Structure formats: C-alpha cells, structure tokens
Amino acid sequence: MASAVAKLWPEAKFGFGPSIEHGFYYDLDLPAPLEEGDLKRIEKEMRRIAKAAPELTCAVVSREDIRARLAALGQIYKVEAVDLIPAGEKITLYSHGDWFDLCEGPHIDRLDRPFAFKLQSVAGAYWRGDEKRPMLQRIYGTAFWSEEDLARHLEWLEEVKTRDHRRLGTELDLFSVHAEAGAGFVFWHPRLGIVRHEIEDFWWREHIARGYQPVYSPHVAREQLFAVSGHLENYGEMMYAPMDLDDVPYRVKPMNCPGHSLIYRTRGRSYRELPLRWAELGTVYRYEKSGVVHGMLRVRGFTQDDAHIFCTPEQLPEEIAGVLDLIHHVLSTFGFEYTAYLATRPEQKSIGEDAIWERATRALADGAARVGMHLELDEGGGAFYGPKIDFKVRDALGREWQNSTVQCDFNLPERFDLEYTDSSGNRVRPIMLHRAVLGSLERFVGGLIEHYGGRFPFWLAPEQVAVIPIREEHAPYARAVAKELFAEQFRVRCMDEPTHMNKRIKTAQHDRVPFLLVVGGREAEDGTVAVRPRGERGQRTMPSAEFAQLARQLRATRALDVPDWSEAAP
C-alpha cells in the first residue's frame, strides 16, 4: 500500500505502518486530504504493483546507511523512527521492485499469492500520538486469504457500525456530549439515566449483601494529598492542572483511594473490626488527550464503582476470592464472558520493594485458585503501586473490553501510615485491596449499549412495556392495563395517541421496547392482552394478570432474554 501511495503522490512522507487486530494502518504526510475515491485509486495501483513486482526481499542494514538513505529522500518521519530503534537491535529493510521500507517484519514472500484486501477509511492521527506534532493522514485497511473471509469481515464491520453506542445514543435518545461543556464529559439523558439507576441499585444490593459499607469522598483535595499517595509522581500527566484556593494548590481527584485512606486514618483500628469493605460510586477526572476521547468509552470525567478493602495478611486470600466471586456474578448477570489476567510489576514507574510485590502477586494467584479461576499472565501490566487481576469481557461481536480489576496494595498503607492493633497489641500495617467490578460506569454502559445493540434486557430497559390500543375506543382499557403495571413499578408507556396503530407499533419497535401489548375489543371483553415480544413476529394472548406475573419473574431473575414465541399462533 505504501509503495502505491508513493507512486501516486511522490512527495508523500511516511510514518508508522503496523498491523493491528483487524487489519493494518499507515500514517502518511500528504499534500492534500484524501477522499474516498482516492482509496479506490490506491487499491488499483496496489494490484498493479503486486503483479509487476511480486517478490518481497529482506535485508539487514546498518543504522548509518539506512538513516542516510532516508534523509536523502526527505523521509523525516522514517529518520526519526530509525533514531527510536534501540542501540544494538537489528534493522531490516523490506523491498519489492524499486520500493523499500524500514520494517521489522515479517512479511509474506510474494505479493501475487491469492489473498483479498480492502482499504476502508481515512482518519487523522498526530505523529507519535503527540498533539503538538504534525497531524498525519491514517489509512486503515484489512486483508484476508480469501474473498469469502473478507466479505464476512466487512459484514461484521457493518454490524459494528450498527451497534456503535454513539449512533444508538442519538437514535434512542440515551446520552449526549457538548462542545460547550468540553470533550470527554457525558450527559446522561432520562432514558439512559433509568438504565444507570437500575445498574447502581443492583450494584449496591450485591455489595450490601456481601458486607460492604458505603462511603463518600470529595471531588477536590489539596495537591499534597496526591503527592503522599504517589499519584502526582506516577500519574501526574493524567491529572488536571492545579487550582489555587487560599494560595494552596488543589486538584480534582483522579482516583478515590486517597480519600478512603484518610477515612481509615481518622481513628485507631483493631484487628477485630477487619476486614473493612468500603464502597463508593465516586466520580473522578483524568486528562485524556483529545485524540483518544471517544463517546462514553474514553472520557475525562467518569464514575468509578470503587471499593477498598482493609484486611490482615491472614484474611487476604479469602478477601481476594470474595472479590473474584462478586466480579464473576456481576459480569455473568449482564451476559458477559471474560478472560482474567494476572498483571505483574511494571518495568518502570512502580513503588515498593520486590519482596512486597512478590507477596502481593502470590496472594492474587492464591485467591484465584480458591474460586477455581484461571489466570492468563500479563507480564509488567500491574499498577504503579501493586500487581492486579484485570478482566477483559467479550461482547456479542467477540470484541474484548477492559472492565473489572482487583489490585493488591502494600504501598499506600505505608505512605498514609495506616495501622491497626493486632491480637498481640502490636501496631501493624493493614493490606489494602483496590477493586472495581464495572470499572467506569460510562465505559461499562457504553459497551453494554453495543453488546445489546440497544436492546436492553427487560430489567434494564428504559421502557419495559408499551400498551397499544387498536382503535381509539380501546384506549380506556389500554390505560387500565398500563395503570395496573405501573402500580407494580414497571416502566410502561400507554401509546393511545390518535395515530394509526401500525405507526405506534413501529415507534415502539424503534425504541427497542421488550414487550408490546396490543389490545382491542376482544381483549377488553376478556381481560387479556396480545403480547408481542421484541424482535418476534408471533404473539400470544393471555390474561393481563398472567403477563404481569411473567414480567415480575423476568425482573426478579434479571433474565437476559424474553420468551421466543416465533412459533406461537397469532
């Protein structure tokens, strides 16, 4: 692709061009913005080149030689890329015909082998992700060994677009972002506010049942607090700039753990009251670069379903096991499968002694073994203050999302001088567990919208039932049915507007309402409703009390699916 671009735009300058999960991209500095038609031109030139110069060769070159050759061609980004290669590392050059490129490879040996490719889109990208550097054009593409595989992938991408939470957010009136408020801040509309309320209610019920206690901490604190915690030193680039209050610098909080540490320190603690499990749905603020802000999935202000557990060393494995059991229960309730990763000490930006890290890592592994949870290894992926177990959930399209985490911390108790009195009367440090089950509510719900395609299960749906009278004279009965369901705290819309019934049905279907209850003269006379589950053409007539019982069961069990009545008689 790069050689085709060079043929069409000889003045092009080339940045990085890596393979990614579902294809590849290349960052380019071009004289003019690319348009959709330009991608077709590039594809045509790619096919010509593949036939004319199909053989790919690899050569090992010296740093001085390749740097001089690239500099002579004016390839300033490639020269910088050469300088980024660590000393002593092998530098390879791949070429075909008169084209060569700096690349570590590997590549296939020939370009005339049977495969299918597609250039998909163009986006802007700052050089090396730095918004102070030049903005380049990034061409995205993909390739497969057969046209059939490519077609399946492109069909999958169309489904990804259909489920895009930003698109559905507008279509279903769920949330918005506003330039007046700034990028990365989400406004929850009433319909999505209901979804969030149901999730939070479920979250709190599960936590209270497992011995957690609610705490609340301020959004702003003195900068010194985050110096003590280590966030200023290790996380400063993600924190908002300080604000001066009474000549003292303050910061909005990037995390909740310093506040929970202060609450712990307000009085003496005994081993008899441990473990302490404190939970907070705490809103935090992190400065994400504008280039990575993305709908609800990457934001600058978000609510973290945070909790911190203070315990003794003897209690640690059981507490970890309890957290892992809670995470499994919650993720399963939403229909997610997941992979758990044990993330160990990072090579850079970490605090604490090696022995402490080893002890914490071993405790996490032991806790997972207690509940029979398999862990994949994520070498060097830990937080700066301790190792962790991260969960990546898989959505309905097979994509992975980073969500839950449990982190073992021996360092913050030391930094905040946290203590408890043990059974021998000695003052000792507690162990601190950081954990989030949903992670960020914004990110979790944004992913949930895409996972469900906007079709929330009955217990979460903004509107659970739409009651639709066939004609105007049937509206009083429709209102009576709706009133009975509303009295049981179901979210019901009585669609008795003076419009054609089919239009009202279409509106309810567009809004992804789980159940449509169609009522006419016969239903009014018999005290029944014609029930049509979402996505099904078939319907079933039943007494209104029987439907209410079904609705209660779906709500109580948090069922993910409504009954399949596609074979039911109309």
Q: Which residues are catalytic?
A: 257, 286, 304, 306, 308, 388, 434
Which two three-digit tokens encode residue 562? Answer: 């409504």
> Which residues have a Cβ under 8 Å from the Cβ of 413 and sit 6 or more positions away?
261, 310, 429, 430, 431, 432
Query: What's the distance, Cα to Cα, between the start and end of the chain in Å?
Result: 56
- Is residue 18 within 8 A of residue 25, CB to CB? The reply is yes
Containing 449, the helix (H) or strand (E) segment is helix 441-452
Q: How crowded is the C-beta side of 55, counted as CA atoms within 13 Å?
A: 2
φ, ψ of residue 469 to 5 degrees: the values are -75, 145
> Which residues have a Cβ under 8 Å from the Cβ of 60 and sit 6 or more positions away?
90, 91, 92, 93
CA distances in angstroms from 342 to 79, 260, 298, 370, 536, listed in the order given: 38, 25, 23, 15, 43
57/348 Cα distance (integer angstroms) = 37
- Is residue 541 within 8 A of residue 531, CB to CB? The reply is yes
Q: How far is CA 492 from the centre of its chain?
A: 30
417/439 Cα distance (integer angstroms) = 27
> Which residues have a Cβ under 8 Å from the Cβ of 321 and sit 6 or more positions away?
367, 368, 370, 371
CA angle 32, 34, 40 (to 5 degrees): 140
420/364 Cα distance (integer angstroms) = 22
> Which residues have a Cβ under 8 Å from the Cβ of 253 and sit 6 or more positions away?
217, 218, 219, 220, 221, 226, 259, 282, 284, 285
- Is residue 562 within 8 A of residue 515, CB to CB? The reply is yes
- Closest alpha carbon to 519 in 483, 565, 466: 466
406/317 Cα distance (integer angstroms) = 12
- Is residue 310 within 8 A of residue 273, CB to CB? The reply is no
Helix, strand, coil percentages (3-state) for the chain, rounded to 5, are 40, 30, 35
546/543 Cα distance (integer angstroms) = 5
- Closest alpha carbon to 281 in 331, 219, 188: 219
Instruction: For residue 168, give the 3-state DSSP assignment.
Output: helix
82/64 Cα distance (integer angstroms) = 9
Which two three-digit tokens encode residue 225? Answer: 């607090």
